[in-house]
Structure 1
Amino acid sequence: MRVPRSLEVWKMGTVNYLDALKLQDKLVSHRKTHKISDTVLSLQHPPTYTLGKRRTDHNLLVPESDLKTIGAELHYTQRGGDITFHGPHQAILYPIISLRDIGLGARNYVEKLELTMIELASLYGVKARAGGVGETGVWVGERKIGAIGVRISSGITSHGLAFNIDPDLNYFKHIVPCGIADKEVTSLRRETDLVLPTEEVIHEQLISCFVRLFAFSDLIWKEDTPILPDNGEAE
């Protein structure tokens, strides 16, 4: 008999990237010491470019000094993967979960993140696929619709996935997305003729796909959660 597993889902709206990074670090620390259960953050960011630990700065195609003029920030992280863009009209999930508790290795974890986005796309008649060799993320034909970049520390995950609902794709012209040249970036809006529901509904559908694939049974929903309370402790 499968043991029920609980997941806290934090619906956070739009969050500054650095605030989300600090929150993830705090939650990872709490998850390692069993102060919290498995948690997933559901949010969006203002326009932000992020680089992974490989520091592939050459894939930023404009001078960093020019980013302010296009309303974007640049941040360096310790996640895997190459440069990517986060912005409005993306659905982002940052799972803070124990892979050891659910018996998953890193590769299987990434595959389930891919399947989470593939299943979401399929709800709208969009046939997406996992990337091939050297192609991280999720693709529709030769067009990338979802990015993945994860960090795993002592079996606890952070960072995660970003699915393009209807972001301004012009932002991707300033980078080599995920280090893959000569490939387009796309969005759910661009790939379907269906009238899309509200973005809140799509965020919730993405969470539902995640929950099913990772076999969580008990969900605890949290909204309007403070990012970092005055005492510096994540609640």
Structure 2
Amino acid sequence: MRSIRTEWLSKIDYGEAWDLQKKLVREIDREELGETLLLLEHPPTYTIGSDRHPEHLLYGAEELAKRGIALYEIDRGGDITYHGPGQLVGYPLLYLDAIGLDLHGYLRTLEEAIIRLLAEFGIEGGRKPEYTGVWVGDRKIAAIGVKFNKARTRRGFVTSHGFALNVKRGVEQEGFQGIIPCGITEYGVTSIESLTGLTLDVETIGRRIVPHFLDAFDSERVDESVIAARSLRS
């Protein structure tokens, strides 16, 4: 059974989290650090993946500045999406062995962990065959975009980037109105609070997804105290 360290980083700027991921990917590749799941929130941010379609960003530079939304072109797969307050972001940094490697299986396992979490709240999450992510009917509740970093010291890949789960009511309007999310025009987005009427804390949802994540990946948890946020960022 693999062991995965988990860490709640609270709210962190996207650029800082991206740099942190790259640092930890190198350390995991060199076997200086164990596999890690980072859980956090971002301030308002749009990210554009490798499947770039600038026309899916509806705001110009002036409007982005007015609204205080950062913009990053990044190295994950997929198109444009939104990260912001009220959304749980998870970055699994996991080693995938090249022998028997199933990249699609990795994506389906990420989706499965989120689907199991939603079931705790009586929400029936599911998949759409043509799209990555987790859906509730025709509304997307979690976006997924990942990168497979080729390992330099051994065969296989180390994953980075990950998932963004809408938790708080209102996140659907806060940032998604300025984009065509993932280039999908026919479907909308939703959140756990909008579906349940509950008032929820993002950190609490982050801690509640951990056992589902570990179970889905057949893993055990390493004590969080071993991997304090301050040591991660040094």
TM-score (norm 1): 0.90
Tell whether the 8 Å contact from 2:6 to 2:221 is kept in structure 1 after alignment.
Answer: no
CA distance in 2, matches of 1:176, 1:9: 32
Q: Using the aligned pairs only, state the percent identity.
A: 36
Within 5 A, what are the aligned runs for 1:2-151? 4-100=1-97, 104-133=101-130, 135-151=131-147
Say if 2:179 is the partner of 1:175. Answer: yes
SS at 1:117 equivalent: helix
Runs (4+) of structure 1 exceeding 6 A deviation are: none
Structure 1 counterpart of 2:211: 208
CA distance in 1, matches of 2:190, 2:99: 33
CA 197–175 in structure 1, closer or farther in 2 if over 3 Å, else same: closer
Give the RMSD, CA atoms, in angstroms: 1.7
Unaligned runs of 5+ in 2: 151-156
CA distance in 1, matches of 2:53, 2:159: 22
SS at 1:95 equivalent: strand
SS at 2:6 equivalent: strand
Unaligned runs of 5+ in 1: 230-235
Once the 2 structures are TM-superposed, how far is the Cα of residue 101 of structure 1 from its aligned partner? Answer: 8.2
Once the 2 structures are TM-superposed, how far is the Cα of residue 220 of structure 1 from its aligned partner? Answer: 2.4
Q: Deviations over 1:138-166 (max 9, x none)?
A: 11110000000000012100000011001
Structure 1 counterpart of 2:196: 192
Tell whether the 8 Å contact from 2:76 to 2:146 is kept in structure 1 after alignment.
Answer: yes
TM-score (norm 2): 0.90
Letter in 2 for 1:184: G
Say if 2:149 is the partner of 1:153. Answer: yes
CA distance in 1, matches of 2:53, 2:2: 38
Once the 2 structures are TM-superposed, how far is the Cα of residue 16 of structure 1 from its aligned partner? Answer: 0.3
CA 218–168 in structure 1, closer or farther in 2 if over 3 Å, else same: closer
CA distance in 1, matches of 2:210, 2:199: 17
Tell whether the 8 Å contact from 1:136 to 1:178 is kept in structure 2 after alignment.
Answer: no
Structure 2 counterpart of 1:233: none
CA distance in 1, matches of 2:95, 2:144: 18
